[in-house]
Amino acid sequence: MAKNSSLTLETKPAPERRAHPELPIYPEKERLLRTATYIFSAVVLILVFVMREVTLEVDWNVNFLPAVNATLNGLTAVALLFSLYFVKQGEYVKHRNANATALGLSVLFLLCYVAYHFTTPEVLYGDADQNGVLSEAERLAVSGSRPWYLVILISHITLAGILLPFILLTTVRALAGKWTLHRRMARWVWPLWLYVAITGPVVYLMLRSYYP
């Protein structure tokens, strides 16, 4: 019996299409970026502890910085909301740009925050005479609202400190093209980051009448 003369042509499988080809990725730099994340987070943590113990004398007035910090936090929240909107619409380049904006605003906030607290004594909620000490009368005057202020403040500061390396690592995973891991982290990093960004202006508004 004659063999079938038709030959089955072997075709090479088509190369797998990379997810989000419109976004540049840098997998070869992931290790460097992760190392930079850990170093940067450690430096920030050290600065936050040191600035509570050290006050630097400067020749210029930095009393405008709390309002700047609140504005930067508010703009960060707006950028994060745009980030969510764009990713839901599948507009990943705009999503990336919104996240980059939020990250840049957060870094700028961090610089202003450290500069302010290194040069200015801590402002106390309820300190009406701005002498740095809460009298019994001042405590009594804010006894109803102070617990709420402390809850917001403590949650804001705690989450801001804990979140920083996770925000950066979520970004690193996107830059490395690890989209599944990026999405997995972003599902809980994003809402917590938004909470921190929103509560920053809330804390400022509650403290505003006590700033010098």
Give the pLDDT of residue 11.
53
pLDDT of residue 109: 94
The reported pLDDT for the residue numbered 194 is 97
Distance of CA 19 to the CA centre of its chain: 26
Q: In 3-state terms, what secondary structure has residue 115?
A: helix
User: What global pTM score does this model have?
Assistant: 0.86
Arithmetic mean of pLDDT over the chain: 88
| Structural contact between residues 121 and 132, judged by C-beta atoms closer than 8 angstroms | yes
Which pLDDT tens digits describe the chain residue by residue (212 residues)? Answer: 444 544 444 555 544 456 777 888 889 999 999 999 999 999 988 988 888 777 777 778 888 999 999 999 999 999 999 999 999 999 999 999 999 999 999 999 999 998 888 888 888 899 888 888 888 888 888 988 999 999 999 999 999 989 999 999 999 999 999 999 999 999 999 999 999 999 999 999 999 988 87
Residue 18's pLDDT is 65
Domains and CATH numbers, the chain: 27-210 (1.20.120)
- Residue 152 contacts residue 203 (beta carbons within 8 Å): yes
Strand, coil or helix: 165: helix
